[in-house]
Structure 1
Amino acid sequence: MAKLSLEDKYMLYESSVQNHESDIDFINKEYRRIFKKLPLSLREDFGGTAAMACDWVKQSASHIAWGVDLDSEPIKFGRENHYKRLDDAEQNRMKYIEGNVLESRDFKADVVVAFNFSYFIFKERETLVNYFKKVREGLNDQGAFFVDLFGGTDACQELEEETEHDDHTYFWDCDSFNPITSDVQYYIHFKYKGQKYERVFSYDWRMWGLKELQDIMKEAGFSEVLAYWEGEDGDGGGDGNFYPSKIEENCESWVTYLCALK
């Protein structure tokens, strides 16, 4: 099976599934709406390359960030492709941590994020509760924990979705779903420079429901958990604008945020 270079692997991933500018704008907007001030410190859990954390510190001389991940490979890419592009002052305010998100830290942040559904790796409720408790411990008193999640009628269907980009094609492949345990196996494939690269990324997850996650966050001690929904663009798609909501219609596929307040 053909393999992508480290550089191409993460370049394709980031251009296909991440939009740090939108995420940061959303976090700033909601944090300011809730606490009447801007958040200055961010911990990016399951950060991989920590591209978002690197973008975070560019906002001002007062912004600081940490990127936490167990895997040295994406950290290496991040250091060489994101961290190196920061100036000296920004680098001093951005730290990589190669470690487990279940471990306690000696610092606190205004915001902790776990994006790209990364916490779905925790299949047992007890483990997820423990992780959420650790997150809460790591937040300042006026702290917020943001996660993204996805669902819809197609979320667990065994099918492969294809998205065309300027220089590559991205494939999101639901290979199997166990309705008894909610275990799901996803793969990401890419077609790049005329060749398809299979199973570049593999995700052995449990599908967690939105209400289920809200309950677990409250069990972990969070005072309030806000659910959001995306507005429509008029053509059946999302418009990129998320608003707090309590009642919505299900659809084939949706992606949204939860915000848990300390």
Structure 2
Amino acid sequence: MYEISVTNAQSLATFFGSLAPTARVMREDFSGTAALARAWVAQSVDPATDVMTAAWKKTQSTRTSRLREAVAIDFDAAVTKRIAKTPGLSVVTRDVMACKLTCDILAATNFAVGYFHTRRELVAYLKHARACLRSKGTFVCDMYVGSSVFIADEQRVVVRVPKEIGSGTFVYVWEQRSVDVTTGIVRNAIHFELPRAKRTPLVMRDAFTYHWRLWSPPELREAMLEAGFKRVEMYDRVGDAVDQHGNVYTRPLGEGDEIDDPAVLYFAARK
């Protein structure tokens, strides 16, 4: 239910591929179910034609060298042991700060940088991430922004189960439980409600809980530059246009650009 309601891993994998067209190996930190890592390797080959994308054809020479790989890293063994075995995917149960596996693109999505509550911790992680990137690698993370980010509230969304995996609907509930504007610290939770015929819904309260610091865009950008990245781009959409071959075209935010309120911003830090 989490993957259905919270994230679109396929779209993110396509977007990240557009940010780093020649990247082959992805590392997903704080991976959880490794949805993004699995989507990354699944897009190695077009399942309809069994050929690589045009961008890969221009940069690689043999089919075997073009196949994408990914490593999913999470400290929670209870989660990592449930990750489905996927060709091209390695799973590591470890603290991300203790893992030195290198990659072309390193992703820390689902607001994972919020786990670091102090600037010192954040910069230390960003320096570690940069050290794990290969030449001209890219680090990507996200954060939600807007005028309501420090308002305690609850949002309910009815989610329809995709036909390929089942049927019916369930309710996804996002709760921002507490906020502290003086520190940027928030406590959030995700709940699910499953309908049952002629019975009250089955409520899965606190299915996931989070204790984050909400970093502002300038704070994140400054921390990334302090960590040694050459430049930082921000995106408020995972794709501005798609051509007839499925290639995604993106444009970073520029000075004076306005964004939706609220919005999720993606940060691409270049080594």
The TM-score bracket by the shorter chain reads 0.7 to 0.9
Residues 231 and 110 from structure 1, CA distance in 2 versus in 1: closer, same or farther, beyond 3 angstroms?
A: closer
- Residue 136 of structure 2 corresponds to residue 142 of structure 1: yes
Maintained 8 Å contact 2:239/2:250:
no
Alpha-carbon distance, 1:251 to partner: 4.3
Q: Which of structures 1 and 2 has the bigger CA Rg?
A: 2
Counterpart selection for 1:53 from 32, 37, 49: 37
Counterpart selection for 1:182 from 179, 184, 188: 184
Counterpart CA distance in 2 for 1:231 and 1:209 is: 19
Counterpart CA distance in 1 for 2:111 and 2:72 is: 16
Counterpart selection for 1:102 from 97, 106, 110: 97
Aligned to 2:113, what secondary structure does the other structure show? helix
Identity %: 30
CA RMSD of aligned residues (A): 2.0
Q: If each structure's helix is expressed as a fraction of its own residues, which one has the higher value?
A: 1
Structure 2 unmatched ranges of 5 or more = 46-63, 161-168, 196-200, 241-247
CA deviation profile, 1:43-99 (whole Å, cap 9, x unmatched): 000001112212222314521110000111221221xxx32xx3xxx2xx3211111
Maintained 8 Å contact 2:18/2:250:
no
- Residue 113 of structure 2 corresponds to residue 119 of structure 1: yes
Amino acid in the other structure paired with 1:197: M
Counterpart CA distance in 2 for 1:124 and 1:231 is: 28
Counterpart selection for 1:25 from 3, 14, 17: 14
Residues 244 and 202 from structure 1, CA distance in 2 versus in 1: closer, same or farther, beyond 3 angstroms?
A: same
Alpha-carbon distance, 1:253 to partner: 1.0
**Paired residue for 1:68?**
73
TM-score scaled to structure 1, two decimals?
0.82
TM-score scaled to structure 2, two decimals?
0.79
Residues 191 and 242 from structure 1, CA distance in 2 versus in 1: closer, same or farther, beyond 3 angstroms?
A: farther
Amino acid in the other structure paired with 1:189: H
**Structure 1 residue ranges, 4+ long, deviating more than 6 angstroms after superposition:** none
- Residue 216 of structure 2 corresponds to residue 209 of structure 1: yes
Counterpart CA distance in 2 for 1:188 and 1:102 is: 26
Counterpart CA distance in 2 for 1:245 and 1:148 is: 14
Structure 1 unmatched ranges of 5 or more = 1-11, 33-37, 234-239
**Paired residue for 1:39?**
23
Alpha-carbon distance, 1:104 to partner: 4.2
**Paired residue for 2:60?**
none
